[in-house]
Amino acid sequence: MAPLMVAQDLHRHFGGLRAVDGASLSLQAGEIHALIGPNGAGKTTFVGLLSGRVPVQSGRIELAGEDITHLPAHQRVKKGIAYTFQITSVFPRLTVFDNVALAVQSAGAAGLDQQVATHLSRVGLADHEAMLAGSLSYGHQRLLELAMGLALRPRVLILDEPTQGLAASEIEGFKALVNGLAPDTTVLLIEHNMDVVMDLAHRITVLNFGQVLAVGTPQDIRQNRAVQDAYLGGHDAAD
């Protein structure tokens, strides 16, 4: 089966720093694909290239066979690529409702109130609708961020460290939620929590120094020597 999204040999340097240095990735439709790697490996920059936040210097990105390498970010969103920010970036001075409504109406759906309510209850924020987003706890802001991503009804949902700052119980809810997306939505998940990665991911790509170190199933990755040396190092895989 042809992959839904393909990135080939992407480069992005900041001055002398090679944040992304020839990385490639292919996403199969419907899979949950984890992107892991040590801090500063270039993960956020890499998905920035995919979502259009960061301009590509060289390489090629395709979505369902269409070249989107130079498409502006907002048009990629319209084509079905949604990105949730690593550094929480909701609209703090707008209500929770308005935050999600912005995403819903961007996806051009009818029945605004209804849809906002649906997405909020999926992440468990149904009764926070009228609050200002800025007054939510950090974990709840992360969940709101997730709701906004879902409300875009994307084909590819890119999640940048979504479980950071969530309580253990919320992480369980999150796993269930992402698992439920699987057939319709393709998920690219950047995650440090190895439990979450091993439980959710169908495939894993390991990034180091802006380059792909390994790709494979969770099994493969666990057993890969290079990965262990570079990334898992002395740590227990489930740190």
Ligand X SMILES: Nc1ncnc2c1ncn2[C@@H]1O[C@H](COP(=O)(O)OP(=O)(O)O)[C@@H](O)[C@H]1O
Q: Which residues bind other proteins (CB under 8 A)?
A: 51, 53, 72-75, 77-78, 82-83, 85, 89-94, 98, 101-103, 105-107, 112, 148, 152
Residue 90 interacting entry, from other proteins, ligand X, Mg ion, none, C-beta within 5 to 8 Å by type: other proteins
CB closer to ligand X, 37 vs 162? 37
Measured distance CA(226)–CA(46) in Å, rounded: 21
Which span sits near Mg ion by CB under 5 A: 79-87, 115-123, 142-150, 164-172? Answer: 79-87
Q: Answer whether 214's CB lies under 8 Å from 227's CB.
A: yes
Measured distance CA(194)–CA(54) in Å, rounded: 27
Residue 23 phi/psi, 5-degree rounding, is -90, 145
Q: What angle do the packed helices 138-151 and 96-106 form, to 10 degrees?
A: 20
Q: Which of 44, 51, 141, 205 binds Mg ion (CB under 5 A)?
A: 44
| 114 burial via Cβ count (<10 Å: 0-12, 13-18, 19+) | exposed
C-alpha R_g of the chain: 17
CB closer to other proteins, 187 vs 221? 187
Q: Which chain residues interact with ligand X by CB under 6 A?
A: 14, 17, 19, 37, 39-45
Residue 42 interacting entry, from ligand X, other proteins, Mg ion, none, C-beta within 5 to 8 Å by type: ligand X
Half-sphere exposure of 62 (CA within 13 A, CB side): 12
CB closer to ligand X, 4 vs 36? 36
Residue 17 interacting entry, from Mg ion, other proteins, ligand X, none, C-beta within 5 to 8 Å by type: ligand X
Q: Answer whether 28's CB lies under 8 Å from 183's CB.
A: no
Residue 162 interacting entry, from ligand X, Mg ion, other proteins, none, C-beta within 5 to 8 Å by type: none
CB closer to ligand X, 190 vs 200? 190
